[in-house]
Amino acid sequence: MPRGKRKRRRATTALAIVRKARAAAKSALESLRAEIRGTSAKLAQLISEERSFRSELFGGAVKRNRRGPGRPRKAARRGRPARTRARRRGAPQAEKFFKKLGNAFTLDDVRKLAGRRAGISLAQWSRAKRIRKSGKGYQKVAA
């Protein structure tokens, strides 16, 4: 067998591998940034085209009303601050609903009384261990 020159293998160290990975990541990041710059430029061009198109169609500058139709203009705030709503007096709403329910009731019964507050009422009562789930509905727990 002929003996020729053998190729020398360079030992790759962990540091060399990390350098290669960093260089690859750097080039990938740079290409992403270039892509973002190009896309942003295209977007800016499309926005300007849209504005010119709207001004040609509807005339004048496009007016943006953020309040929506039928909303009053903001009044200048002077003098004392606006009054806060007075606290509700009397028994809490969930208590009133609870008293009107029978010993056994369903979710539909609660919804008829409480409306959109039904879920909140059920959660309150179950945390307070005043009701428990039974069959297809709920039952009041004796205190």
Predicted confidence band at 86 (pLDDT cuts at 50, 70, 90)? confident
- Asked whether residue 8 is assigned to any structural domain, the reply reads no
- Cβ proximity of 41 and 33 under 8 Å: no
pLDDT tens profile 9-20: 566 799 999 999
Q: Virtual CA dihedral for 20, 23, 27, 28, nearest 10 degrees? A: 60
Task: Locate 85 and state its tokens.
Answer: 């709503």
- Asked whether residue 99 is assigned to any structural domain, the reply reads yes
Arithmetic mean of pLDDT over the chain: 81
CATH number, position 104 = 1.10.10
- Cβ proximity of 38 and 30 under 8 Å: no
- Asked whether residue 46 is assigned to any structural domain, the reply reads yes
1, pLDDT greater than 60: no
How far is the C-alpha of 15 from the C-alpha of 18, rounded, in Å? Answer: 5
Domain that holds residue 124: 93-140
- Asked whether residue 85 is assigned to any structural domain, the reply reads no
- Asked whether residue 47 is assigned to any structural domain, the reply reads yes
- Asked whether residue 126 is assigned to any structural domain, the reply reads yes
pTM score, whole prediction: 0.35
How far is the C-alpha of 85 from the C-alpha of 40, rounded, in Å? Answer: 47
How far is the C-alpha of 93 from the C-alpha of 33, rounded, in Å? Answer: 57
